[in-house]
Amino acid sequence: MATLLRKIGLIRLHNRDTEDPKHHHNHRGGGQQSASLRGKGGAKSGGHKQQQQQQQQQQHPGGAGDASPGPGKGKGKRAAEVAPRDKAPAAAAAAAGAAGAGGPRDRAAGARAGPGPAVAAATGGSLVPAARQQHCTQVRSRRLMKELQDIARLSDRFISVELVDESLFDWNVKLHQVDKDSVLWQDMKETNTEFILLNLTFPDNFPFSPPFMRVLSPRLENGYVLDGGAICMELLTPRGWSSAYTVEAVMRQFAASLVKGQGRICRKAGKSKKSFSRKEAEATFKSLVKTHEKYGWVTPPVSDG
């Protein structure tokens, strides 16, 4: 029995000496192997991260700091990327607007800006909208139609009107009567002159601007009738004109001026047959208007008419 017990004790000691060192060795070797594996894995992941950083540095030469910019840097970078994209449409829109191919807003802005230099130069620097021009034409036409009707109803047949080429805006007016006590009336009787013929052209903005009036025949001297048949009367100028003046009133004032200025029918040989010209009349009228604007107009006393 004692022998058996000793054998069992020897067996246990043998197992402890033989198996336990292996077990401890394997356990330590396993720990070292796992540590080695972890070291290799960490080295691999570290190498992978290093490769990613190198690729990012190649794509963004700004440096490793740009790979993960802060809030300020990110906004600046996005703004820098958006700016070129915004500039291209703006430049395209500007070019399209310059070429007249812009959108509705561009065309509306162009319409508010008014006509281009070429259009303004072609129209003399003033371009009246179509609607306004049509309105002015209607006002002028209605006023002149009324004037014609009033003249046709005159009982004393003081004046008569003929349209030039059927144009409502170009009249030939015949002045049939002047003061019968004047030398001009005597000249008309002696020369068998039935009337004094005048031409009136009405501008687009009549009755707010005066008509241009000139004498056609006969050739007159004095009486405020100047070269070309131009008439020196303040009420025929923009400063002296009023929209309340009628053609009849203007003609009566002209008849009074002829008498007051001692107008006569020219009877000089050769000169009496020379006709007045519109071009000469316009040039003379412009000159006298400038002269009177500089030195003023002389208003006759009321007793002189």
Kindly indicate the confidence band of residue 273, based on its pLDDT and cuts at 50, 70 and 90. Answer: low
Model confidence at 192: pLDDT above 80: yes
Least confident of 34-43, 154-163, 173-182: 34-43
pLDDT for residue 60: 52
Angle at 202 between CA 200 and CA 206, to 5 degrees: 140
pLDDT for residue 168: 96
Neighbours of 128 (CB within 10 A): 13
- Give the residue extent of every domain in the chain: 130-268
Q: How many Å apart are CA 147 and CA 163, to the nearest integer?
A: 13
| Cα–Cα distances in angstroms (integers) from residue 51 to residues 43, 48, 64, in the given order | 12, 5, 13
Cβ partners under 8 Å of residue 41, min gap 6: none
Show which residues are catalytic: 232
Alpha-carbon Rg of the chain, whole angstroms?
Answer: 54
pLDDT for residue 128: 59
Model confidence at 6: pLDDT above 60: yes
- Output the 3-class SS for the chain: CHHHHHHHHHHHHHHHHHHHHHHHHHHHHHHHHHHHHHHHHHHHHHHHHHHHHHHHHHHCCCCHHHHCCCHHHHHHHHHHHHHHHHHHHHHHHHHHHHCCCCCHHHHHHHHHHCCCHHHHHHCCCCCCCHHHHHHHHHHHHHHHHHHHHHHHCCCCCCEEEEEHHHCCCEEEEEECCCCCCCHHHHHHHHCCCCCEEEEEECCCCCCCCCCEEEEEECCEECCCECHHHEECCHHHCCCCCCCCCCHHHHHHHHHHHHHHCCCEECCCCCCCCCCCCHHHHHHHHHHHHHHHHHHCCCCCCHHHC
Least confident of 124-133, 214-223, 245-254: 124-133
Question: Bigger pLDDT: 297 or 30?
Answer: 297
Question: Bigger pLDDT: 17 or 234?
Answer: 234
pLDDT for residue 191: 93
Kindly indicate the confidence band of residue 5, based on its pLDDT and cuts at 50, 70 and 90. Answer: low
Kindly indicate the confidence band of residue 68, based on its pLDDT and cuts at 50, 70 and 90. Answer: very low
> Do the beta carbons of residue 291 and residue 232 sit within 8 Å?
no
Q: What is the mean pLDDT of residues 135-161?
A: 93
| Cα–Cα distances in angstroms (integers) from residue 246 to residues 125, 143, 208, 210, 249, in the given order | 31, 9, 12, 10, 5
Kindly indicate the confidence band of residue 132, based on its pLDDT and cuts at 50, 70 and 90. Answer: confident
Least confident of 6-15, 39-48, 248-257: 39-48
Kindly indicate the confidence band of residue 110, based on its pLDDT and cuts at 50, 70 and 90. Answer: very low
Sign of CA dihedral 233, 237, 240, 242: positive
pLDDT for residue 2: 56
Model confidence at 182: pLDDT above 70: yes
pLDDT for residue 134: 85
Residue 132: CA count within 13 A, CB half-sphere: 5
pLDDT for residue 83: 46
Question: Bigger pLDDT: 256 or 37?
Answer: 256
pLDDT for residue 8: 60
pLDDT for residue 57: 60
Q: How many Å apart are CA 169 and CA 6, to the nearest integer?
A: 154
Question: Bigger pLDDT: 75 or 136?
Answer: 136
Kindly indicate the confidence band of residue 258, based on its pLDDT and cuts at 50, 70 and 90. Answer: very high
**Fold of domain 130-268:** Ubiquitin Conjugating Enzyme (3.10.110)
